């Protein structure tokens, strides 16, 4: 297509897979959940297989490469994708590189909104949702930590293939069976991730339509399938079009940054809703919303550092919103926003 940030040609396979999963979501939650469970088990099995097989090809020197052992190429017209190994060693790109990589990989946590948006369909959401979030966080951490650790121990980090890293490194170290196993396993992982990413959006559209924020037709639930069919099809068609037209790297960046922004906004909203008194919030002046408000006690006397930290972390176990919790939540949100902008 010769357009920047778009694929060289439309990916009809990606379009077809996305629409197939959309149809599964339309048919009903039980069928899509069963499909997701099967592919999740297969995906976890591939992760365990990668870790076990990779242990036989570990070379700890790959975490201790010197500056002279890594490339430092410069981008030129003849070399549009230069390889750069940074400073070498275990932390080659420093804090900025770590933050950049974490932002790029934030799509690994995109499944948490699926847990939250399906709370109405859970039998015991008060017990089930916290357990689901905690276990999901644990499994995501273990999977990413294990695979990335094995991957960089097997082969130098600067020579990884971005599009298909695991098949590439297993081919380089002479493990052809592992190469093809991980190639097929990637299909399971992508299908599971795609289904998990597409599952919440129709529910969000349904909730917004029910509240009158968007067209109410998007909130209509089909009597046979018990799902918002129109919302599911439109969201799936939109996702399929993006998958067919955009470059994979651009999609990954958009999804990661979008997820990070959405979760940050949700976290700030939870603080405001949970700890703020509406009347107190409206009556506060800009000066009263400064950090000094939470640094004084009820008599106007200054607090010690320990008392201030105790108030910010709610060591007093306040369960009812007060003026103190209102001010504290505003200060914490302000600090977080300023810190994020400075980074």
Q: What is the pLDDT of residues 163-185, one digit of tens each?
A: 778 888 888 888 888 888 888 88
Q: How many CA atoms lie within 13 A of 322 on its CB side?
A: 12
CA distance 102 to 94: 12
Beta-bridge mates of residue 302? 296
Average pLDDT in the 253-280 region? 71
Rounded alpha-carbon distances, angstroms, from residue 49 to 105, 163, 185, 194, 204: 22, 20, 10, 22, 36
pLDDT in tens, 7-59: 778 888 888 888 888 887 887 666 667 777 787 788 888 889 889 998 888 88
Tokens 């906004």 belong to 265
Most confident of 90-99, 112-121, 271-280, 300-309: 90-99
Beta-bridge mates of residue 72? 84
Tell me the pLDDT band of 71, cut-offs 50, 70 and 90: confident
pLDDT above 50 for 295: no
- Give the pLDDT of residue 244: 85
pLDDT above 80 for 297: no
Which one is predicted more confidently, 199 or 138? 138
pLDDT in tens, 222-264: 777 777 888 888 888 888 888 888 877 777 777 777 777 777 7
pLDDT in tens, 140-162: 888 888 888 898 899 888 888 77
CA distance 272 to 263: 14
- Given a contact cutoff of 8 angstroms between Cβ atoms, the answer to whether 25 and 120 are in contact is no
CA distance 184 to 70: 31
pLDDT above 80 for 220: yes
For the chain, give the percent of residues with pLDDT over 70: 78
- Give the pLDDT of residue 251: 76
pLDDT above 80 for 315: no
Indicate the pTM of the whole model: 0.62
CA distance 249 to 17: 19
- Give the pLDDT of residue 308: 67
CA distance 233 to 167: 34
What value does the mean pLDDT of the chain take?
Answer: 77
- Given a contact cutoff of 8 angstroms between Cβ atoms, the answer to whether 56 and 80 are in contact is no
- Write down the domain spans for the chain: 12-246, 276-342
pLDDT above 60 for 129: yes
Q: Which residues contact 303 (CB under 8 A, 6 or more apart)?
A: 295, 296, 297, 311
Sign of the CA dihedral 203, 205, 209, 212? positive
pLDDT above 70 for 111: no
Burial class (CB in 10 A: 0-12, 13-18, 19+), 275: buried
């Amino acid at each position: 297509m010769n357009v920047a940030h778009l694929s060289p040609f439309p990916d009809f396979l990606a379009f077809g897979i996305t629409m197939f999963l959309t149809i599964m979501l339309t048919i009903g939650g039980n069928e899509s959940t069963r499909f997701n469970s099967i592919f999740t088990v297969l995906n976890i099995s591939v992760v365990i297989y990668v870790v076990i097989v990779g242990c036989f090809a570990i070379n700890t020197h790959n975490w201790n490469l010197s500056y002279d052992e890594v490339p430092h190429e410069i981008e030129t017209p003849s070399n549009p994708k230069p390889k750069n190994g940074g400073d070498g060693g275990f932390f080659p790109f420093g804090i900025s590189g770590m933050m950049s990589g974490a932002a790029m990989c934030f799509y690994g946590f995109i499944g948490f909104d699926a847990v939250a948006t399906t709370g109405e369909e859970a039998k015991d959401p008060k017990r089930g949702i916290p357990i689901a979030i905690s276990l999901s966080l644990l499994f995501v951490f273990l999977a990413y930590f294990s695979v990335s650790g094995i991957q960089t121990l097997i082969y130098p980090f600067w020579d990884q293939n971005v599009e298909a890293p695991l098949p590439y490194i297993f081919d380089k170290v002479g493990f052809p069976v592992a190469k093809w196993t991980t190639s097929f396993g990637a299909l399971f992982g992508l299908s599971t991730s795609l289904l998990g990413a597409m599952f919440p959006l129709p529910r969000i559209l349904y909730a917004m339509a029910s509240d009158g924020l968007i067209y109410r037709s998007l909130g209509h639930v089909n009597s046979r399938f018990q799902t918002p069919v129109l919302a599911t099809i439109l969201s799936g068609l939109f996702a399929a079009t993006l998958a067919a037209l955009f470059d994979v790297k651009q999609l990954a960046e958009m999804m990661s940054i979008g997820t990070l922004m959405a979760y940050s906004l949700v976290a700030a909203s939870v603080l405001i809703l949970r700890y703020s008194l509406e009347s107190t919030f409206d009556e506060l002046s800009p000066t009263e919303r400064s950090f000094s408000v939470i640094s004084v006690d009820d008599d106007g006397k200054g607090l010690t550092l320990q008392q201030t930290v105790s108030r910010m972390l709610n060591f007093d176990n306040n369960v009812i919103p007060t003026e103190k919790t209102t001010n504290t939540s505003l200060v914490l949100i302000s600090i977080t926003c300023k810190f994020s902008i400075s980074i």
